[in-house]
Amino acid sequence: MDRCDECGFIYADHGPGSVADEIAGLGPRFGSVLAVPAGSPDLHRLRERPAAGVWSPVEYGCHVRDVLLAQRERLYQALVEDEPDFVPIYREQRAVLAGYGDEDPGRVAVEIGLAAGLTARAFGRLGPSDWRRTCVYNFPEPSTRTLLWLGQHTLHEGEHHLFDVGYSTGSGLR
């Protein structure tokens, strides 16, 4: 995967010099959507699924938080092991097991900010040869990928789900 036709993300537009800062920027962007005051009428909207099979904004936020943390661990694994094969995060099962839909959107916004910062710092520490290290990424099918691609894909996950949240809220957020 080098581009996403659904959200318009082009992997090659995000290189080693920018991907870490762009990942860090996901925190405030999700925060602007999810950080609503307690008792706000928007709280219900953030927990509501707009259609069958479409997650709510808070569920997308929880997913992005967990993806950021998983990708950070995968990055470290790929820096230690030669061409590691990553375990899946079981996204659908995790959403149910962790109760994504019941989480507090404001807390999730803070957690995304923390996860984005930690993940961005990890990618920001990579040297030129590190970006070329490889791993086996198993989604959507097993493929050998570089750590640059891993960083780009991490950013894509956040960008794509901001697109999804914009769809689910009707805000057109990108």
Do residues 106 and 35 lie in contact, with contact meaning Cβ atoms separated by under 8 Å?
Answer: yes
- Strand, helix or coil for residue 150: helix
Instruction: Kindly state whether residue 4 falls inside one of the protein's structural domains.
Output: no
Instruction: Kindly state whether residue 75 falls inside one of the protein's structural domains.
Output: yes
Q: What is the mean pLDDT of residues 20-49?
A: 90
3-state SS string for 47-78? HCCCCCCCCCHHHHHHHHHHHHHHHHHHHHHH
pLDDT of residue 88 exceeding 80:
yes
Instruction: Kindly state whether residue 73 falls inside one of the protein's structural domains.
Output: yes
Instruction: Kindly state whether residue 174 falls inside one of the protein's structural domains.
Output: no
Q: What is the mean pLDDT of residues 88-105?
A: 95
Residue 174's pLDDT band (boundaries 50, 70, 90)?
Answer: very low
Residue 169's pLDDT band (boundaries 50, 70, 90)?
Answer: low
Give the chain's radius of gyration (CA, Å): 16
Structural domain boundaries enclosing 89? 11-169
CATH, residue 97: 1.20.120.450
Q: Kindly report the pTM of this predicted structure.
A: 0.93
Task: Count the domains in the chain.
Answer: 1
Instruction: Kindly state whether residue 1 falls inside one of the protein's structural domains.
Output: no
Each residue's pLDDT tens digit, 36-49: 877 788 888 899 99
Instruction: Kindly state whether residue 70 falls inside one of the protein's structural domains.
Output: yes
Residue 119 CB coordination number (10 Å):
27
Which tokens in the block code for residue 17?
A: 């010099």
Instruction: Kindly state whether residue 3 falls inside one of the protein's structural domains.
Output: no
Structure confidence at residue 173 (pLDDT): 46
Structure confidence at residue 167 (pLDDT): 59
Instruction: Kindly state whether residue 104 falls inside one of the protein's structural domains.
Output: yes
